[in-house]
Each structure stands twice: as structure tokens, then as C-alpha cells.
Amino acid sequence: MQKLRPDMDIGHNIQRLRKASNMTQDQVIARLQLMGIEISKSTYAKIETNRMNIKVSELVALSKIFSADISEFFSGLV
């Protein structure tokens, strides 16, 4: 499974987009699971704190959940 390299700190942007969507981590995880993305709360928390790489499939699913363009996950990083 393809993963993004950990050379960018996108966890903060994921957390920002989640909060802007007024969602809890549990709500995001439930939506991901409904989309067929199996993820635990601890794994999701590690993604938001940049302690774990995010899979491309997870990033695409999050963009749909947050109604965000993929570029928003990389905002302020380049």
C-alpha cells in the first residue's frame, strides 16, 4: 500500500480541517469505516500528531469527509 513520506507535517492540517468541520475524532473514524477504511482511534490520533504515515487512500477519504481539496492538507508546508 502506498504511503506519503513523513517529510511533511500534514497532521496539523488534518486536525484543523476536522475541527473546522465540527467533527470529533470518533466521528471521522466512523465515517472512514463506513467508506471501507479500517482505522483505529489510536492510529488516527497518530496521524494527526504526525507519529504515523497516512495512506493515500485515507487522505483521499478524508478529503471527501471534510469536503476539502487535497491541496488543503499541504497548506503552509511548502
Q: pLDDT tens across 8-65, in order?
A: 789 999 999 999 999 999 999 999 999 999 999 999 999 999 999 899 999 999 999 9
Q: What single-letter DSSP state applies at residue 71? A: G
Q: What is the pLDDT of residue 1?
A: 59
Q: What is the pLDDT of residue 62?
A: 98
Cα angle 38, 29, 56; round to 5: 60
Q: What is the pLDDT of residue 68?
A: 95
- Between CA 75 and CA 67 the distance in angstroms is 15
pTM for the whole structure: 0.86
What domains are defined for the chain? 11-68 (1.10.260)
